[in-house]
Amino acid sequence: MKKNIFVVTWYKSINFGTCLQAYATHKVLKNRANVVILNHRSYYSLDKLNFLIEKLFQKVKGQFAGKNVPNYSNYSAAVERKMQKVDRMADENYKVRSIRSRKDVKEIDTWTDCYLVGSDQMWNPWMLSPQYLLDFVPRKRKKPKYSYAASFGIDNIPEKKGGLYKKYLPQFSKITVREPRGAELVKELSGQDATVVLDPTFLLTPDEWREFADQSEICKQYGLNNDYILCYFIGAPEFNHLEKVKQIADALKLKVVLIPIKEKDYMEENVIIVADACAYDFVTLIDNAKLVCTDSFHAVVFSFLTESAFYDFPRFKKGDKYSQEARLQNIMGKFMLEGSYWSDNLNTSEIEEHFHCDYTQGHRILKEERERSLRILYEMIEAQ
């Protein structure tokens, strides 16, 4: 008989990695359990005031976004199409449940056999909310609380941010995290041991991801073959990575496809701007690219999974307290991807040679790690 699991994760977002980790977590859990996800946007808790303030800020910010962009109405329509795709993906794949009262909590607790939080940076101190530490779970009934591949995202927790972790982490029956440093932080904050596992996106095979992305028509829509460099840069615009990529593309007679993040991205010239890409499209664009240039954790993950050549560019300035470079360094080292770090010293011949990079050893390691992580996850949720 299948278990019932109540999951707390970010699942409905314009961030591709957020959507993809939620899909993977849900898919592997559904093999063994009935899954319901917390509709975190409607969560009612003591931090509701902060939530409402943030919501108001985002609304005001949205009124100004794009005002300096020529032909912004065209891109605005594309962004709206993207949001519709995000909503449709969530509606087609998940059962969700809101918590607005103690009655809701009681009903959920009666139904579920255990609770699970993760993955993604849900334990990042700059994004942390008590619900991400399962604060709402009634302690009297002692239903198990687990985490899967939860990430702190950074190497050190500011002292003023440590209280919530110290209060709630000891209540978990088992903790798994995404990075080795995360396991050390759990120990420092709570005295609990934590196991390091793979990001959930690694738990699905390349064939499973291609099946997932099969419904994408983004390449047909924009007339793309295997003749482009895909750019997806989240970090500070001062790095000016895109200009370097344009030079490479010009030398190699390739198109530049840009998934825009910042307002500045919409004003770029001599690039194909794909503003309406959703998670399905993201996987497809990476899979079909001649080269992926990025500073994104999950763009690196999917480049490796689909065996697409990629370069990882710097995302954070040296000494930035918000730096998340450690999480990328972890997978680059684990899967022997050090040759995919970008260097300004690379020449055109070296970049062309990199198109044919060999991931055989990395995928051999991935297969073993995937089996280990799935075993840990299934043993955890079936333990009670």
| pLDDT level of residue 60 (50, 70, 90 thresholds) | very low
Least confident among 98-107, 170-179, 195-204, 301-310: 98-107
Q: Is the pLDDT of residue 328 over 70?
A: yes
* Predicted local distance difference test score (pLDDT) of residue 360: 96
- Gap between the Cα atoms of 227 and 223, Å rounded: 10
| pLDDT level of residue 240 (50, 70, 90 thresholds) | confident
* Predicted local distance difference test score (pLDDT) of residue 61: 45
Let me know whether 274 and 289 are in one domain: yes
Whole-angstrom CA distances from 302 to 223, 297, 299, 307, 372 are 22, 9, 5, 8, 20
Q: How deeply is 18 buried, as exposed, middle or buried, from its count of CB atoms within 10 A (0-12, 13-18, 19+)?
A: buried
Whole-angstrom CA distances from 249 to 229, 230, 243 are 7, 10, 10
Let me know whether 142 and 120 are in one domain: yes
Q: Is the pLDDT of residue 54 over 80?
A: no
Let me know whether 107 and 217 are in one domain: no
Q: Is the pLDDT of residue 139 over 50?
A: yes
Let me know whether 220 and 170 are in one domain: no
* Predicted local distance difference test score (pLDDT) of residue 64: 43
Let me know whether 352 and 374 are in one domain: no
Longest dimension (CA), the chain: 66
Q: Which residue has the higher pLDDT, 317 or 380?
A: 380
- Assign residue 156 the CATH number of its domain: 3.40.50.11720
Let me know whether 235 and 333 are in one domain: yes
Let me know whether 166 and 225 are in one domain: no
Let me know whether 143 and 268 are in one domain: no
* Predicted local distance difference test score (pLDDT) of residue 46: 42
Q: How many structural domains does the chain have? A: 2
In this prediction, residues 101-124 reach a mean pLDDT of 93
* Predicted local distance difference test score (pLDDT) of residue 358: 94
Q: Is the pLDDT of residue 269 over 60?
A: yes
Give residues with Cβ within 8 angstroms of 294, minimum separation 6.
Answer: 230, 231, 232, 233, 300, 303, 310, 311, 312, 313
* Predicted local distance difference test score (pLDDT) of residue 323: 60
Let me know whether 125 and 249 are in one domain: no
Question: With pLDDT > 70 as the criterion, what percentage of the chain qualifies?
Answer: 88
Q: Which residue has the higher pLDDT, 242 or 61?
A: 242
Let me know whether 76 and 216 are in one domain: no
* Predicted local distance difference test score (pLDDT) of residue 49: 44
Let me know whether 221 and 173 are in one domain: no
pTM: 0.89
Question: With pLDDT > 90 as the criterion, what percentage of the chain qualifies?
Answer: 71
Question: pLDDT tens, 335-368?
Answer: 999 999 999 999 999 999 999 999 999 999 999 9
Let me know whether 168 and 246 are in one domain: no
Q: Is the pLDDT of residue 189 over 70?
A: yes
* Predicted local distance difference test score (pLDDT) of residue 57: 47
- Assign residue 361 the CATH number of its domain: 3.40.50.2000
In this prediction, residues 195-201 reach a mean pLDDT of 97
Tell me the residue range of the domain where 264 lies. 206-366
> What rounded mean pLDDT belongs to the chain?
89
* Predicted local distance difference test score (pLDDT) of residue 74: 67
